[in-house]
Amino acid sequence: MLEQRRSDGSLRHLITLADLSRAEIQSLLDHSARYVSDAGARPPSNRSLNGITIANMFTEPSTRTRVSFELAGRRLGADVLNIEVQLSSRAKGESMLDTIRTLEAMHIDVLVIRDSEPGVIEEVARDVAPHVSVLSGGEAHVSHPTQGLLDALTITQRKGADFSRLTVALVGDIRHSRVARSAYEVLTALGVGQLRLIGPAEMMPPPEEFPGCRRFHAPEDGLAQADVVMMLRIQKERMLEASIPDGAEYFARFGLTAPRLKLAKADAIVMHPGPMNRGIEISSEVADGPQSVIRAQVRNGVAVRMAVLETVARPRRLGV
Ligand code: NCD
């Protein structure tokens, strides 16, 4: 596994949450909380990353993640570029390394990468100059660390910091979901009481993944007494054409409707990383209803990315 820290122990890259301690995660969440603002309020900003240049390189579609990294960088005074690139096997070898060398020559300090091929982000991180940080904006089905952090922050805001009392249900296409894997890592590190996986057999992860989680094949069984219901998007782009489920049938069996949500605790919160398929994973009534924290997740995304950018890039700014 790639070492994400510098020799002084400070975080240089963020590609996975798997090797972060509870204290490191807690400190990132506390840092993020300082950048959360109410809807409609003037968002917090400062110049702490003035002179730092961040390049977003997303080779898979993204709205929330890319825009929030961009806003996060700008609100800390950094220069932010969005670069069209090919990094994966689609354009491997020389061209990927050339791209990195070119960006280094232009004094880029932070690369934020989303890619559909496992391992590419880590490969870039191994190759970059020592002063450059690499952040994952989502790696294939493997990991989405800033999403994991923003999900944990959202849960903390509504349910408090003691995760040991909480039952969290992940519902839907867990097998192909990087959001679910990062949620597992962060919730486990924070000592979550119970983590449940609910989905059809073909969307369940292999048995060796998600150790310690209880598995259910019907929401009617798995949602009982849940404090947090985290819905996942069906990752059609990671499935064979033939295995993509029929939308109406899926909604009938697994879609989160108001009657189904009643199975969870009365004060349960509903999460979804977006983009939502309304009427397939979730009804509009629930997505826009009083238990939904989906907009708060998006807002928290900017705060988390500010904290992560500041954590990895500030030592560079200070010339350490
Ligand atoms: C997710 C992603 O791309 O991993 N979206 C996001 O980052 N908010 C979830 C998804 O696409 O299903």
Residue 197 above 50 pLDDT?
A: yes
Residue closest by Cα to atom 1 of ligand 1: 273
Percentage of residues in the chain having pLDDT higher than 70: 95
- Burial class (CB within 10 angstroms; exposed 0-12, middle 13-18, buried 19+) of 286: buried
* C-beta separation of 184 from 145 below 8 A: no
Residue 1 above 90 pLDDT?
A: no
Residue of 65, 139, 181 to test ligand 1 pocket, by largest number of atoms within 8 Å of CB: 65
- Would the CB of 315 count as within 6 Å of ligand 1? no
pLDDT digits (tens, 9 = 90+) for 38-70: 888 999 999 999 999 999 999 888 989 999 999
Mean model confidence pLDDT for the chain = 93
Phi and psi torsions of 137, nearest 5°: -105, 15
Distance 61 CA to ligand 1 centre (A): 9
**pLDDT-based confidence at residue 319 (cuts at 50, 70, 90):** low
- Would the CB of 179 count as within 6 Å of ligand 1? yes
Domains 22-140+298-317 and 145-289 share a fold: yes
Beta carbons within 8 Å of 245's beta carbon, 6+ residues apart:
200, 234
In the chain the first and final C-alpha atoms are separated, in Å, by 25
Distance 151 CA to ligand 1 centre (A): 12
> Hey, is 220 helix, strand or coil?
helix
Residue 7 above 90 pLDDT?
A: yes
What are the extents of the domains in the chain? 22-140+298-317, 145-289
Instruction: Give the dihedral of Cα atoms 147, 148, 154, 157; nearest 10 deg.
Output: -140
Per-residue pLDDT, 94:
57
The alpha carbon of residue 68 and the mean position of all alpha carbons in its chain are separated, in whole angstroms, by: 12
Q: Which two tokens stand for residue 263?
A: 């199975």
Ligand 1 nearest-atom number relative to CA 235: 12
Which run of H or of E encompasses 99? helix 94-105
- Would the CB of 274 count as within 6 Å of ligand 1? yes
- Residue 87: CB atoms within 10 A of its CB come to 24
Asked, as a colleague might, if the bond just before 273 is cis with ω within 30 of 0, I would say no
Per-residue pLDDT, 296:
97
Per-residue pLDDT, 242:
75
pLDDT digits (tens, 9 = 90+) for 227-277: 999 999 999 888 888 778 889 999 999 999 999 999 999 999 999 999 999
Per-residue pLDDT, 89:
47
Give the homologous superfamily in CATH for domain 145-289: Aspartate/ornithine carbamoyltransferase (3.40.50.1370)
Distance 131 CA to ligand 1 centre (A): 29
Q: 22-140+298-317 sits in which CATH class?
A: alpha beta
pLDDT digits (tens, 9 = 90+) for 154-166: 999 999 999 999 9
pTM: predicted TM-score of the whole model, two decimal places:
0.96
Averaged pLDDT for residues 20-34: 97
Q: CA–CA separation, 112 vs 286, rounded Å?
A: 33
- Would the CB of 4 count as within 6 Å of ligand 1? no
Residue 305 above 80 pLDDT?
A: yes
Per-residue pLDDT, 243:
79
Distance 275 CA to ligand 1 centre (A): 7
Residue closest by Cα to atom 12 of ligand 1: 233
Percentage of residues in the chain having pLDDT higher than 90: 82
* C-beta separation of 229 from 247 below 8 A: no
Q: Which two tokens stand for residue 211?
A: 């150790």
- Would the CB of 144 count as within 6 Å of ligand 1? yes
pLDDT digits (tens, 9 = 90+) for 79-120: 999 987 766 544 555 577 788 888 899 899 999 999 999 998
Beta strands in 142-253 (DSSP E): 167-171, 194-198, 214-216, 228-231
Residue 24 above 80 pLDDT?
A: yes
* C-beta separation of 137 from 146 below 8 A: yes
